[in-house]
């Protein structure tokens, strides 16, 4: 039986309403990882952040994105519908909303974050790549 999830209070950041869920990565790591086949995985970059987001899967229920923002780089302002972000590494970032409010966030490997969606840009102020997976939920389902 997996240990219970650690819940952190909901935080309001500009237009993004975030709730953090932390999972013990060592005990919950999948034994194997298989990439979606080329038939189910569209190729190419996401139109709103071409330099740091790549579509891994897009169907009628979800869109799965891989992102990687190198130290010192900034993703341009972009939007996501309600989504889950799963961090694959440690990173120190600033999340900035369209109204220019911002906050510093430290991401840890295995950390999952819920967002109700919204617009933001991400500035990597750390020494390591900010990388992970975004699972966007489609509203029509």
Max CA-CA distance within the chain?
Answer: 43
Domains and CATH numbers, the chain: 6-26+41-137 (2.60.120.10)
The pLDDT tens digits for 10-23 are 343 334 444 444 44
Q: What is the pLDDT of residues 36-62, one digit of tens each?
A: 333 433 333 344 555 789 999 999 999
Measured CA distances, 16 to 29, 117, 121, 130, 133 (Å): 28, 6, 11, 19, 17
Taking only the tens place, the pLDDT of each residue in 65-79 is 999 999 999 998 999
3-state secondary structure 117-141: CEEEEEEECCCCCEEEEEEEECCCC
pLDDT, one tens digit per residue, over 113-140 is 999 999 999 999 999 999 999 999 997 6
Tell me what the pLDDT averaged over the chain comes to: 75
What is the per-residue pLDDT for 48? 53
């Amino acid at each position: 039986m997996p240990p219970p999830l650690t819940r952190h209070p909901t935080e309001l950041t500009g237009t993004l309403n975030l709730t953090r869920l932390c999972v013990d990565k060592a005990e919950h790591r999948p034994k194997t990882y298989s990439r979606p086949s080329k038939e189910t995985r569209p190729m190419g970059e996401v139109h709103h952040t071409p330099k740091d987001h790549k579509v891994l899967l897009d169907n009628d229920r979800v869109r799965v994105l891989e992102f990687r923002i190198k130290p010192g780089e900034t993703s341009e302002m972009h939007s996501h519908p309600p989504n889950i972000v799963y961090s694959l590494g440690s990173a120190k970032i600033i999340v900035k909303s369209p109204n220019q409010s911002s906050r510093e966030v430290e991401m840890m490997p295995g950390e999952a974050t819920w967002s109700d969606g919204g617009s933001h840009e991400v500035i990597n102020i750390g020494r390591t790549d900010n990388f992970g997976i975004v699972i966007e939920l489609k509203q029509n389902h």
